[in-house]
A and B are shown apart, each in its own frame.
Chain A
């Protein structure tokens, strides 16, 4: 009889290879489905790649999508490191955007100083938005997946309320949005602002903190085995709280950068699902901050594909469906990687 053996552990490169194969397989299945729906897939794929890389403008547009994805991906990744899920990146993104907008519209001061203040405000806004789920998770063991997620709906309603109500710019006749925020993130090239630099730098800093600080070791240990961390004398609830607040803050910072660097005013729908896609980025990256960078680029290309292909009748929804498929393939691939055909199994070592 033909049976598969499950092996205890697999090598890091097998994990990475499996992830790549999963993504490719999901994209291939997606392409097949698109082809079945009557699309000319090779042409679509060519358009997406051209739309992302063909010229400076395309690259700038891609960069504008990648920067918030790095940050929301990073936000989800840090919680994964301690074994938690932050599915509320969307809400924290909006909370950061709201905080930055209110501060930006109300306070008038030196622009350079204000950018720092806005950044801090965005971070705090995001952290505040996750505060209750974080406290409930850390000290009461209340499942954080549902609490963080439900706050997304609240944040979206709140942004709509603000941008159509108290903060609405009466000068805007057509769309409901706030007035323009009088501070801009300096640009890097063309339309691309320094948010990308901030995002990349933050990914590197967080990777360094996790690998080379006591706090990082404690977070990793608590993520690997909470009981062992408690045993080792680590205040686990405090680390859970800190990690979640950091995560919310990073997502909030993404919202602040988006609103001050790209959109310049607060309105409904500015997040582009960055919060949800951030979870995908983090999973693709295996929870590793540096892995978030390539994962965010990949997700950026896919998201950009939805925008580039609008003229073909492709929408953001197809793109979301495709990302869901990728996630499913990764989840299944992650497990299948542990199975071996018996004759391939390692020989007895004991």
Chain B
């Protein structure tokens, strides 16, 4: 931008960090200039978070050094990094949910008065918020805040500790498009007043939009650092993945593809989340045999609860769920399973798998009640191994040993295992929540092909995703969720990302709520 190159605020030289069985960072060099937005781009597992955890003192590098304003530094704890003016806003917010905003702002801070009371802390918080131009509600408890508000609290906390280097880790993942735009504006203001920002992302578009320079990581190594003006979408994609990205499209087949009758039907369904707060508000939704209905929306707007009432894990407090016209009110997960509903859950290690049990035991989790695994009350291990082998082979899961605990598999392999297992039982419908989350690009591709494959077999598919591009490319219809409501449903081929984005932020009335499918 300017003629003379700005001075380097931070230099990382030859940073290396290994974990058992994995080289997370391999001799990485990075220079951060004053007043720039420096994007760190890479797939999941490319080593972005590890590198930043080293810069912020959470991890210690095995080799390499950190130069801060020309002087070599060593951070053995996050406290030292904070004191040196490096602040990070983590992807998963490091906030205490049961605390108020004010308490979170003052947590672990040596400028907090030794004796505190709620009023005083809230007053101080208000003052800080005004100083940095970030609007927060000091007295509110974090668990009652939206993701966007929580992010502002995080940023405010980092800035109030005098950070000159701000690291944002996948900051837009939890934001509506409108909120993301506001964040981009705020980031611009920070750099204008001399801060340096490291912006971690795996989304090409936003990186191109916001960054001055872009460093691409792949498999723990630095591939390149480029000025954003010299980059194109395609070039970055190739650098990041090592090949070109093509999402599978199903539009071409539309001519011959005709959805059948309604098999999943929600009418007026409401329910609460685990905290006892209303999470679904009179949802009406139909899914037909042989169609993919996408659910768009920022995570945490009722998607989890929606998938749970559709699979019997959570009971609706009002309204009715019907499967092939039959009311499923009060039905257990076992009954939904019998009705042919498969479910790829949001958090596979929490609810889809038993991490400490063998791969084989996990593979048969949905079919152990049926012969040949069940013979009367008996459970036949040889049949278990046979079926597990089949599922594992179909899913192309790499398994060292069927007796190994499933937690030893990589995330992608676990996800494929769950998806295949669920597709086998999904005779009527498959409810898939974020099935591509955490997968690398190649795996995303095959996961989406799975979904198209079973749709073409006449199965109804409900696909929940936060990747709009993904939804628009494979769904037949897209419904947008906001605060437990369906804001509108569109035929995917007519939908525009921008309109959907508005609805994701709760801006209803921007358009007709239903376009004929």
A and B touch in the complex (CB under 8 A): yes
Select A8's contact among B60, B313, B357, B408, beta carbons within 8 Å.
B408
The answer to the question of B407 belonging to the interface, with a C-beta cut-off of 8 Å to chain A, is yes
Shortest distance between the CB of A148 and any CB in chain B (Å): 24
The contact string, 1 if C-beta is below 8 Å from chain B, for chain A 286-315, is 000000000000000000000000000000
Please, which residues of chain A bring their CB within 8 A of the CB of B352? 228, 231
A176 to B354, CA, bound (A): 52
The contact string, 1 if C-beta is below 8 Å from chain A, for chain B 334-345, is 111100000101
Shortest distance between the CB of A341 and any CB in chain B (Å): 11
Are A350 and B332 interface neighbours, CB within 8 A? no
Select A225's contact among B22, B311, B355, beta carbons within 8 Å.
B355
The contact string, 1 if C-beta is below 8 Å from chain B, for chain A 328-350, is 00000000000010000111111
Please, which residues of chain A bring their CB within 8 A of the CB of B345? 231
The answer to the question of B379 belonging to the interface, with a C-beta cut-off of 8 Å to chain A, is yes
Are A228 and B354 interface neighbours, CB within 8 A? yes
Stretch of B32-40, B148-156, B360-368 that contacts chain A: B360-368
Select A348's contact among B23, B312, B369, B378, beta carbons within 8 Å.
B23
Are A230 and B313 interface neighbours, CB within 8 A? yes
Please, which residues of chain A bring their CB within 8 A of the CB of B408? 8-9
Please, which residues of chain A bring their CB within 8 A of the CB of B333? 230-233
Please, which residues of chain A bring their CB within 8 A of the CB of B261? none
Which of B19, B335, B379, B380: most chain A CB closer than 10 A? Answer: B379
Select A5's contact among B20, B351, B369, B379, beta carbons within 8 Å.
B20
Are A215 and B377 interface neighbours, CB within 8 A? yes
Shortest distance between the CB of A57 and any CB in chain B (Å): 43
A225 to B20, CA, bound (A): 25
Are A7 and B357 interface neighbours, CB within 8 A? no
Are B18 and A348 interface neighbours, CB within 8 A? yes
The answer to the question of A3 belonging to the interface, with a C-beta cut-off of 8 Å to chain B, is yes
Shortest distance between the CB of B271 and any CB in chain A (Å): 16
Select A216's contact among B312, B354, B379, beta carbons within 8 Å.
B379
Please, which residues of chain B bring their CB within 8 A of the CB of A165? none
The answer to the question of A108 belonging to the interface, with a C-beta cut-off of 8 Å to chain B, is no
Are B20 and A214 interface neighbours, CB within 8 A? no
Known: A214-B378, A340-B20. A9 touches B407 (CB 8 A): yes
Shortest distance between the CB of B417 and any CB in chain A (Å): 13
A105 to B350, CA, bound (A): 52
A350 to B369, CA, bound (A): 36
Known: A5-B20, A224-B356, A348-B18. A231 touches B351 (CB 8 A): yes
The answer to the question of A217 belonging to the interface, with a C-beta cut-off of 8 Å to chain B, is yes
Are A212 and B378 interface neighbours, CB within 8 A? yes
Nearest A residue to B374 via CB reads A214
Please, which residues of chain B bring their CB within 8 A of the CB of A233? 312, 332-337, 366, 369
Are A213 and B378 interface neighbours, CB within 8 A? yes
The answer to the question of A245 belonging to the interface, with a C-beta cut-off of 8 Å to chain B, is no
Residues of B319-337 contacting chain A, CB below 8 A: 332-337
Are A232 and B18 interface neighbours, CB within 8 A? no
A228 to B354, CA, bound (A): 6
Residues of A199-235 contacting chain B, CB below 8 A: 211-217, 220-221, 224-225, 227-235
Are B353 and A3 interface neighbours, CB within 8 A? no
Shortest distance between the CB of A287 and any CB in chain B (Å): 12
Are B337 and A213 interface neighbours, CB within 8 A? no
Please, which residues of chain B bring their CB within 8 A of the CB of A211? 379, 381
Shortest distance between the CB of B480 and any CB in chain A (Å): 27
A307 to B60, CA, bound (A): 54
The answer to the question of B21 belonging to the interface, with a C-beta cut-off of 8 Å to chain A, is yes
A350 to B410, CA, bound (A): 9
Are B313 and A231 interface neighbours, CB within 8 A? yes
The answer to the question of A1 belonging to the interface, with a C-beta cut-off of 8 Å to chain B, is yes
Please, which residues of chain B bring their CB within 8 A of the CB of A214? 368-369, 374, 377-379
Please, which residues of chain A bring their CB within 8 A of the CB of B18? 348
The answer to the question of B405 belonging to the interface, with a C-beta cut-off of 8 Å to chain A, is yes
Interface residues of B, CB < 8 Å — how many? 41
The contact string, 1 if C-beta is below 8 Å from chain A, for chain B 15-30, is 0001111110000000
Please, which residues of chain B bring their CB within 8 A of the CB of A234? 334
Are A350 and B22 interface neighbours, CB within 8 A? yes
Select A224's contact among B19, B343, B357, B377, beta carbons within 8 Å.
B357
Select B366's contact among A224, A229, A232, beta carbons within 8 Å.
A232
Interface residues of A, CB < 8 Å — how many? 34
Are A348 and B21 interface neighbours, CB within 8 A? yes
Are A227 and B407 interface neighbours, CB within 8 A? no
Which of A7, A217, A229, A345: most chain B CB closer than 10 A? Answer: A217
Nearest B residue to A217 via CB reads B379
A8 to B379, CA, bound (A): 29
Are A346 and B379 interface neighbours, CB within 8 A? no
Shortest distance between the CB of B32 and any CB in chain A (Å): 26
Residues of B197-220 contacting chain A, CB below 8 A: none
Which of B60, B354, B357, B381: most chain A CB closer than 10 A? Answer: B354
A317 to B347, CA, bound (A): 48
The contact string, 1 if C-beta is below 8 Å from chain B, for chain A 1-23, is 10101111100000000000000
Which of A211, A229, A350: most chain B CB closer than 10 A? Answer: A350
The contact string, 1 if C-beta is below 8 Å from chain A, for chain B 371-395, is 0001001111100000000000000
A6 to B59, CA, bound (A): 14
Nearest A residue to B410 via CB reads A350
Shortest distance between the CB of B509 and any CB in chain A (Å): 38
Shortest distance between the CB of B379 and any CB in chain A (Å): 5
Which of A8, A215, A220, A228: most chain B CB closer than 10 A? Answer: A228
Please, which residues of chain B bring their CB within 8 A of the CB of A220? 357, 361
Nearest A residue to B343 via CB reads A231
A340 to B18, CA, bound (A): 13
Are A3 and B60 interface neighbours, CB within 8 A? yes
Nearest A residue to B367 via CB reads A232
Known: A8-B20, A214-B379, A233-B337. A224 touches B368 (CB 8 A): no
Shortest distance between the CB of B274 and any CB in chain A (Å): 11
A221 to B361, CA, bound (A): 8
Shortest distance between the CB of B251 and any CB in chain A (Å): 33
Please, which residues of chain A bring their CB within 8 A of the CB of B21? 8, 345-350
Are B332 and A235 interface neighbours, CB within 8 A? yes
A281 to B61, CA, bound (A): 43
9 smallest beta-carbon distances between A and B, as pairs: A233-B334, A224-B354, A225-B354, A227-B351, A233-B333, A345-B20, A224-B357, A232-B365, A217-B379
Could you list 20 examples of A-B contacts with CB < 8 Å? Answer: A5-B20, A6-B20, A8-B21, A9-B405, A212-B380, A215-B377, A221-B354, A221-B357, A221-B365, A228-B354, A231-B333, A231-B351, A232-B366, A233-B333, A233-B337, A234-B334, A235-B334, A346-B20, A348-B23, A350-B21
Given contacts A5-B20, A230-B351, A235-B334, 12 further A-B pairs with CB under 8 A are: A214-B377, A215-B377, A217-B361, A217-B368, A221-B361, A221-B365, A225-B356, A233-B336, A340-B20, A346-B20, A348-B18, A348-B21
Interfacial residues, chain B to chain A (CB-CB below 8 A): 18-23, 60, 311-313, 332-337, 343, 345, 350-357, 361, 365-366, 368-369, 374, 377-381, 405, 407-408, 410
